[in-house]
Chains A and B, each alone.
Chain A
């Protein structure tokens, strides 16, 4: 307590002003007077008494100094003085300082935003018991395209076998891929959407979660297929959608034709196991329609074991079970297709999943890595700028430093002086950067959101983010402040005071920094160029169909309906005003789901490649806008056995040429090619065109179709309500499970590329701007330093070109060197980014040419001003000056 009081008083003492000083002076004077009076009483003459008193009192100044040290906190006082002095220095060059601070703020802010994203998506552990014990299972092998691939989807029956096999040693949990689904509370008219995830009932107890209200699911809720219509809702969903006051326990909603009862609320903070996705409703896996199907892979598998040493044994065991399951499942299939499946599932891999597993993680891991590289480079460029600024200022202050050394300042004192200044810059920049990142990180998250899947990342400003920011501020200070500080402190007073220190040494440092800056800038430009090209290629890729104006409805019937009923429905919708055409199909293109089979032609064994299927009504390809290249459309009516195939199919299975009328086998079913359609991407706009087959519906019951509606003009979403009410009126037994637009599906697929292109462009502009600024600053400084020399050269007859060469030669050499270094760095990065590219090669001369041209242009533009300044130097004035 006493110590605290003392520090507080001393802190106050620091700001003690003139009054305190006066008190001190008076008290000392009084002391002396009293001593003199005392001595005089003893008979000492006044002059002698005064002398003696003063001697006894000790040196006045030294004593006052000790008193002041006791009063305030000297080190803090020194620090405050340093900071005050630093601030004055910055204020003196406020334009240059502001430029340095803003560029650093931009870079640190971007760094922090990137860190917050990485932290939220990849680093943060799930809020469950012992997250470090969680793993996820995946199968790895060679994909259909011959590249290594990994699949983390599992079929439920296989999951059950695996769980049984490792019982007692590890626990397995099934967690479905979260999906937006349509559901209703009360009347059917109010359809809304929520993010739904099917999870193993025992997941909640395993995760050690406690309900915020009601109860959570248990193993007892997950035994009988279709037998447990119960749901747990997330805390946010309760608060946001269900009022948030009274616990929603007992409330019911209708989803997928079933009535579910809410039995409890999950604890606050738990939003499922997919970072980036907030699950709103948890249902037992047994309520999933395809739960018992052997060839429907629809969920991830999580594994918990407390003993990491066991993972090897578990892996072997699980792999054996999984393989046996696949072998059993494919007993009837051909040898070749079995081999293909084998290749796809060569290994079973167990990966740590304490941070959760999500498609967003795998999709954006590399992206975030690159984002990190880019912001890091921009930060370095900004640091170099600030370092150059400091070096130039240190140069201008060499005399001042020399004077300080001459009157006794130690080296450490000088370093502190310069470091205080740089720290001031770093702190200001970091504060601005924090503000920037506060805005930037949520902004980026909003960019990767799609209408069908809202993205939500928990990005609280916790200790780690603050620590990161602080660490970065420190790093930045060291990066750009230490070198100038050391240089400044190494000043030799004798030579500096004579004005004779070799200025070229300092310029050499600045030149090296310029080379580094150009190299970083080159890499950023290189990356940005690749991403911009990728996005341009992807967006201009011919799709083979017209996505604009297409509304897609996922419609389900309570009981299977005959084909004719569905077709009549499409015809009814076509009669709606504003609707151009409507059709039905079993799948939507780019919808994320696929049906595929091996194909055999003319008695040969099935080909190793899969063909992809859509069952569709006759008008579907016209509604989609897919051109018919040869032959006929699918016939109306019952036309089982008739098929349209795309160009890729013709090429793959018939070796090109005329395919109309030819026949092929899908398993045991035979099809005849009625016509050939133009290529259209089936599942992914990035992949090469897959062989696709569009077949007719036969005379069987259909319980689920995609209704595709082409809207005449305007936003297809605007038609959704009209289509919905028409469906509700004419077919009350149908349910609309999902509404999307084809354009939305296309855009969702190019989201990452658009984002990369956007961010890349932003950073390219920032990097180019900063590097240009840095180059300009150095050239300008060089001209300033050499103005006398230039004046002399001009006086003795040097021409303009010679002067320009003199001024720019070194800087341009550095630019070339930096460009070469940058190209080397870019080449090293090339391999890492290849998977993020589409239609562009990282290692082509063209991709290096553009950044090179920009860097060269930048150097010329930056040199323009300084060269002009140099040419305008008046030799006479310069020779007379100083």
Chain B
């Protein structure tokens, strides 16, 4: 079995928002499944972390939620990215990319590069 990584809270929020941006409105279960899929089943989203994150994002106004019906005719609560959420996503994604770029440069640095 592959080792599954835990997800940091801040990162999870970003993943949730990105997922919603790409997939449109989703319910909680679908979000967790999608994140699992996208990560190539490397990530296991603990529901105990997911719902508090969803709630926080809703409190911040980044996402909105409402009851809806699944394709199998089940009632579920659907989450959707709001306009301000879209903006927040862009800002955070940019920041994340920058961090990533910086980290990448550090991790690939060799002694010869610095002389």
Interface residues of A, Cβ cutoff 8 Å to B: 2, 5-6, 9-10, 13, 23, 26-28, 30-31, 33-35, 37-38, 56-59, 62-63, 66-67, 69-71
- Residue in chain A with minimal CB distance to B58: A9
* Residues in A neighbouring B3, C-beta threshold 8 A: none
CB < 8 Å neighbour of B55 from A5, A28, A57, A67: A67
Q: Is the CB of B56 within 8 A of A70?
A: yes
Q: Is the CB of A57 within 8 A of B27?
A: no
* Residues in A neighbouring B74, C-beta threshold 8 A: 30, 33-34, 37
The answer for the CA separation of A62 and B75 in the assembled complex, in Å, is: 24
Report how many residues on chain B are interfacial, defined by Cβ distance under 8 Å.
Answer: 22
Known: A5-B60, A31-B47, A34-B27. A70 touches B55 (CB 8 A): yes
Q: Is the CB of A56 within 8 A of B47?
A: yes
* Residues in A neighbouring B59, C-beta threshold 8 A: 5-6, 9-10, 13
- Residue in chain A with minimal CB distance to B28: A31
The answer for the CA separation of A38 and B46 in the assembled complex, in Å, is: 17
Q: Is B76 part of the contact surface with A, judged by Cβ < 8 Å?
A: yes
Please name 9 further chain A to chain B contacts, defined as beta carbons within 8 Å, in addition to the given A30-B76, A58-B47, sorted by A numbering: A9-B59, A26-B77, A27-B77, A28-B51, A30-B29, A30-B74, A30-B75, A37-B72, A71-B55
Q: In B33-47, which residues have CB < 8 Å from any A CB? A: 33, 46-47
CB < 8 Å A-B pair total:
65
Q: Is the CB of A38 within 8 A of B47?
A: no
The answer for the CA separation of A5 and B61 in the assembled complex, in Å, is: 8
Q: Is B90 part of the contact surface with A, judged by Cβ < 8 Å?
A: no
Q: Is the CB of A63 within 8 A of B72?
A: no
Q: Is the CB of A63 within 8 A of B77?
A: no
- Residue in chain A with minimal CB distance to B55: A70
The answer for the CA separation of A38 and B76 in the assembled complex, in Å, is: 14
Q: Which 6 A-B pairs have the closest CB atoms?
A: A9-B59, A70-B52, A34-B29, A63-B48, A58-B48, A30-B76
B68 to chain A, nearest CB (A): 10
Q: Is B70 part of the contact surface with A, judged by Cβ < 8 Å?
A: yes
A3 to chain B, nearest CB (A): 9
25 inter-chain pairs at a CB distance below 8 angstroms, sorted by A residue, are A5-B59, A9-B58, A9-B59, A10-B59, A27-B77, A30-B28, A30-B29, A30-B74, A30-B77, A31-B27, A31-B47, A33-B74, A34-B27, A35-B29, A38-B29, A38-B33, A57-B47, A58-B46, A59-B48, A63-B48, A63-B51, A67-B55, A69-B52, A70-B55, A71-B55
Known: A6-B59, A10-B59, A63-B47. A34 touches B52 (CB 8 A): no
- Secondary structure of the A contact surface, majority rule: helix
B26 to chain A, nearest CB (A): 11
A53 to chain B, nearest CB (A): 10
A339 to chain B, nearest CB (A): 87
The answer for the CA separation of A67 and B77 in the assembled complex, in Å, is: 16
- Secondary structure of the B contact surface, majority rule: helix
Q: Is the CB of B56 within 8 A of A6?
A: yes
The answer for the CA separation of A28 and B76 in the assembled complex, in Å, is: 9
- Residue in chain A with minimal CB distance to B50: A31
The answer for the CA separation of A30 and B75 in the assembled complex, in Å, is: 7
* Residues in A neighbouring B72, C-beta threshold 8 A: 37
Known: A58-B46, A66-B48. A31 touches B29 (CB 8 A): yes
Q: In B62-87, which residues have CB < 8 Å from any A CB? A: 70, 72, 74-77
* Residues in A neighbouring B77, C-beta threshold 8 A: 23, 26-27, 30
* Residues in A neighbouring B76, C-beta threshold 8 A: 27, 30-31, 34
The answer for the CA separation of A62 and B47 in the assembled complex, in Å, is: 11
The answer for the CA separation of A34 and B56 in the assembled complex, in Å, is: 23
* Residues in A neighbouring B29, C-beta threshold 8 A: 30-31, 34-35, 38
* Residues in A neighbouring B47, C-beta threshold 8 A: 31, 56-58, 63
* Residues in B neighbouring A70, C-beta threshold 8 A: 52, 55-56
Q: Is the CB of A27 within 8 A of B28?
A: yes
* Residues in B neighbouring A2, C-beta threshold 8 A: 60-61
* Residues in A neighbouring B55, C-beta threshold 8 A: 67, 70-71
* Residues in A neighbouring B27, C-beta threshold 8 A: 30-31, 34
The answer for the CA separation of A33 and B29 in the assembled complex, in Å, is: 9
A14 to chain B, nearest CB (A): 12
The answer for the CA separation of A33 and B33 in the assembled complex, in Å, is: 14
Q: Is the CB of A26 within 8 A of B75?
A: yes
* Residues in A neighbouring B70, C-beta threshold 8 A: 34
* Residues in A neighbouring B48, C-beta threshold 8 A: 57-59, 62-63, 66
* Residues in A neighbouring B52, C-beta threshold 8 A: 66-67, 69-70
- Residue in chain B with minimal CB distance to A32: B29
The answer for the CA separation of A56 and B45 in the assembled complex, in Å, is: 9
B86 to chain A, nearest CB (A): 14
- Residue in chain A with minimal CB distance to B56: A70
The answer for the CA separation of A13 and B27 in the assembled complex, in Å, is: 21
* Residues in B neighbouring A69, C-beta threshold 8 A: 52
* Residues in B neighbouring A57, C-beta threshold 8 A: 47-48
- Residue in chain A with minimal CB distance to B29: A34
CB < 8 Å neighbour of A6 from B28, B60, B75: B60
B101 to chain A, nearest CB (A): 25
- Residue in chain B with minimal CB distance to A13: B59
* Residues in A neighbouring B51, C-beta threshold 8 A: 27-28, 63, 67
A176 to chain B, nearest CB (A): 68
A749 to chain B, nearest CB (A): 70
The answer for the CA separation of A207 and B72 in the assembled complex, in Å, is: 85
The answer for the CA separation of A9 and B64 in the assembled complex, in Å, is: 13
* Residues in A neighbouring B56, C-beta threshold 8 A: 6, 70
* Residues in B neighbouring A33, C-beta threshold 8 A: 74
The answer for the CA separation of A30 and B67 in the assembled complex, in Å, is: 11
The answer for the CA separation of A505 and B69 in the assembled complex, in Å, is: 67
The answer for the CA separation of A62 and B51 in the assembled complex, in Å, is: 12
The answer for the CA separation of A10 and B30 in the assembled complex, in Å, is: 26
The answer for the CA separation of A27 and B70 in the assembled complex, in Å, is: 13
The answer for the CA separation of A28 and B75 in the assembled complex, in Å, is: 11
* Residues in A neighbouring B60, C-beta threshold 8 A: 2, 5-6
- Residue in chain B with minimal CB distance to A24: B51
* Residues in B neighbouring A67, C-beta threshold 8 A: 51-52, 55
Looking at B47, B52, B56, B58, the one whose CB has the most chain A CB atoms below 10 A away is B47
The answer for the CA separation of A35 and B47 in the assembled complex, in Å, is: 11
B37 to chain A, nearest CB (A): 12
The answer for the CA separation of A220 and B55 in the assembled complex, in Å, is: 75
B23 to chain A, nearest CB (A): 15
* Residues in B neighbouring A66, C-beta threshold 8 A: 48, 52
B110 to chain A, nearest CB (A): 41
